[in-house]
Amino acid sequence: MEDNFFPLTYCPVCGGENTKKLWVKNSFDIFDCRSCRALFVPDRSLNLKKLYSKDYFTGAAQGFGYADYDRDKEAMRGTFEIYLAKIEKALPRNLPRRLLDVGAANGAFLAVAQKRNWEVRGVEVSDFAAAEGRKRGFDIKTGTVVEAKFPDAFFSVVTLWDVLEHIADPHATLKEITRITKGTGLVAVNTPDTQSLFAKLMRKYWHLANPPEHLILYNLENAAEMLKKYGYAAVAHAHVGKSFTLEYIFQTLSHQQKFFLWRFLLWLVARLRIRKLVIPVNVRDNFFLIAAKKAARTQRVTFRKP
């Protein structure tokens, strides 16, 4: 998460130099890596601290972010329960239930994990969101995981929900996560899937290709390959659906596709007092992946190269 570097001339996931400009979106170039099929934004002159200000979590005034983070994440409680059940199944028996949530926002996931008897900590780049989480009693440090400087081999599990796609330098982040994770610990992520049918159909109009919020978009194969460099092997994966409020859905659509229809529907759901109605969505364009350090050979799963 450093500001002001030069545009990247190589793939930030696999390091490949065979890249091609695909689209311009929100005035940012989006490149495709011909080796691992990551989509990425080469521009690194972004002010991320400013991007994740209060607006991002409360009103999406800059044209993106969350309508109301509390409510939208509340809608995700069921998804978090599914993620935790999968993590608990993969967790080696001798490890304590101690996790770090990277990009913890105001602690919505920490609250769900704590109820399931996890000892929880978080890091969050948005000082606004981190402060909200601290008010709710959670130990959330403002900054990146690299800045947080946790002790060696401290956590059994590190989670990154909807976070990997926002991180400009995933290798620096993973290197640090590896240092602070126990020898047989787990890392769990969910992030947009470029190899999903929905992404392939929508192409440039895929709502998750939305710079400067999302800087790198992965697939299961290149994410697993990247984790392998740090000693992790994939042990479980899934495409888990999410739930969103109607307000979030129409607000996102109206910001991204400037059609009058979305604005009208946004107005209509407010008028009908169904803004907070929760709708389950599963277009399978997000993947969930658990990777384990020193995983037994039999546990491993492999992915087809896209």
Interface with Zn ion (CB under 5 A): 11, 13-14, 16, 33, 35-36, 38
For Zn ion, the closer of residues 16 and 143 by Cβ is 16
Q: How far is the CB of 179 from Zn ion (least distance, A)?
A: 24
Contact 145, 130 (CB under 8 A): no
Radius of gyration (C-alpha) of the chain in whole angstroms: 19
Q: Which is nearer to Zn ion, 36 or 224 (CB)?
A: 36
| Shorter beta-carbon distance to Zn ion: residue 14 or 90 | 14
Cis peptide leading into 212, omega within 30 of 0? yes
Question: Minimum Å distance from CB 7 to Zn ion?
Answer: 16
CA distance 149 to 233: 25
Instruction: Give the C-alpha separation, 104 to 125, whole Å.
Output: 9
| Nearer to Zn ion among residue 17 and residue 119 (C-beta) | 17
What separation, in Å, do the N-terminal and C-terminal C-alpha atoms of the chain show? 28
Nearest one of 64, 49, 146, 152 to 102, comparing CA atoms = 146
The minimum distance between CB 227 and Zn ion, in angstroms, equals 14
Min. distance of Cβ 267 from Zn ion in angstroms? 42
Minimum CB separation from Zn ion for residue 33, in Å?
3
Pick 32 or 124: Cβ nearer Zn ion: 32
Contact 145, 117 (CB under 8 A): no
Cβ within 8 Å of residue 298, ≥6 positions away: none
